[in-house]
Amino acid sequence: MSTPAPRPSVLFVCVHNAGRSQMGAAFLTHFAGDQVEVRSAGSAPAHSVNPAVVEAMKEVGIDISAESPKVLTTEAVQSSDVVITMGCGDACPVFPGKRYLDWQLDDPAGQGVEAVRPIRDAVEQRVRGLLGELGIPLSA
């Protein structure tokens, strides 16, 4: 009897954990279901998720209104297989043996929903690509 492969864990990190990393985590959870352990955090978390990001995600059928920004911890990085940084610069701790991806995306902070839509769509495409790389079929 073979044991199932452990679920990969992915951590999305941006400065405020109010936009890009929230969208990344939401799309990955939406597409992968429980096949992937998903976390998001910020090096300097905001008080709440960007309302324009919440609205843009709602437009594609994903509700993140109940999410809240979380502080980036060393433990979160250490317990993740893949760490996706989205403009957090030197604030993201680096550990040997982790896979790091740096997704250069515009910061939706202070932007209206019109400006957030293309960022959302770029995040979605990258998450779909990541799932392909991890060999995980889309469940949604």
Q: Which residues are catalytic?
A: 14, 88, 92
- Please, which residues have CB within 8 angstroms of residue 99's CB and are 6 or more apart in sequence? 81, 82, 83
- 8 Å CB contact between 30 and 97: no
Judging by beta carbons within 10 Å of its beta carbon (0-12, 13-18, 19+), is residue 55 exposed, middle or buried? middle
Q: What's the token pair of residue 29?
A: 């959870």
| Other Cβ atoms within 10 Å of 88 Cβ, number | 21
Task: Tell me the three state secondary structure of residue 53.
Answer: helix
